[in-house]
Amino acid sequence: MNFRGVYSVLPTPFCASGSIDVPSLRRVIDLYLKAGVDGLTALGVTSEVARLQDAERDRVLDAVLSHVNGRAPVVAGTSAEGLLNCIDYSRRAKSAGASAVMVSPPRMPKLNSGAVLSHYLDLASAVDTEIVIQDYPPVSGYTVEPALLGHIAREIPRARTIKLEDPPTPLKTSRIIQACEGFEVSVLGGLGGMYALEDLIAGASGVMTGFAYPEMLVEVVRAFRSGEVGTAADAFYRYVPLMRFEFQQGIGIALRKEILRRRGAITEPVTRSPSVQLDRSTMVALDRLLDWLRATQGVKWISS
């Protein structure tokens, strides 16, 4: 597959009781598909996958795939500390109908490039599916160097998509493309879309993130890919304040869920413990930012 464009990472909505809210998940999917995204990602960091039990992982993925029903490709996060668990998650994802799996390097003491390469080689040997390599050091604890990403892509043709979240991402995007000279790779920026324009200029194929207004990312990416770089830049600079605000460490997921609640997609902006709830000052700042985007920038997707 050629992963390009905008892939929205789905949150996992919860009821007030803490159980999975499938109706809200379906509404989020409909909202994102209506926004024009090219694909969806389930069971990512934004999905609070680390706080889901195995049975809940299966339930979320089944709910996503059944509701999408072929309308867009779905990437499933299958990262795990152990290789056997990663293989098991990946087999289950493929069996359920996922188009690809997204895998971070395994967390382990003194992880090295040889162990990372072996992890992906063993996974590719065990499961015949497309692999998206997630390079997000805060989660994996390991920074995948461009040369290693190039080595993996050379050895595993089905692992030529990188979800890049190791800043400075524009610089690393360029270096990855250089390291993969001779064959095509797809680099998808993350980090809430904060560097989407610069990533595209550096050669990225798109963006994969949980930003709660994917319409904005779709507008930027489509304009850029159409050669309208000035239009893409104007739109991007207009939206950066919201991307920056939403991607605050520690409360980013809670902010996304609150925005999706305001958009009518989810019923309760509940995040699972351990988590930080939004305080009054954060809500006031969010109100002010949304009012500014709506009133002065004419952003039509902003809800009151």
Can you list the domains of the chain with their CATH numbers?
A: 5-296 (3.20.20.70)
Q: What is the reported pLDDT for 180?
A: 93
* Cα–Cα distance measured from residue 216 to residue 232, given in angstroms and rounded to the nearest whole number: 10
Q: What torsion do the CA atoms of 186, 66, 191, 249 make, to the nearest 10 degrees?
A: -160
Q: What is the reported pLDDT for 301?
A: 67
* Cα–Cα distance measured from residue 166 to residue 62, given in angstroms and rounded to the nearest whole number: 30
Q: What is the reported pLDDT for 42?
A: 98
Q: What is the reported pLDDT for 276?
A: 85
List helix spans (H) across the chain. 22-34, 54-68, 83-96, 113-126, 137-140, 146-155, 169-179, 196-202, 214-225, 229-246, 252-262, 280-296
Exposure b/e, 42-73, CB count within 10 A at least 16 = b: bbbbbbbbeebeeebbbbbbebbbebbeeebb
Q: What is the reported pLDDT for 196?
A: 98
Q: What is the reported pLDDT for 29?
A: 98
Report the predicted TM-score, pTM, of the whole model to 2 decimal places.
0.94
Taking 50 as the pLDDT cut, the residues of the chain under it are: none
Q: What is the reported pLDDT for 135?
A: 96
Q: What is the reported pLDDT for 148?
A: 96
* Cα–Cα distance measured from residue 89 to residue 49, given in angstroms and rounded to the nearest whole number: 12
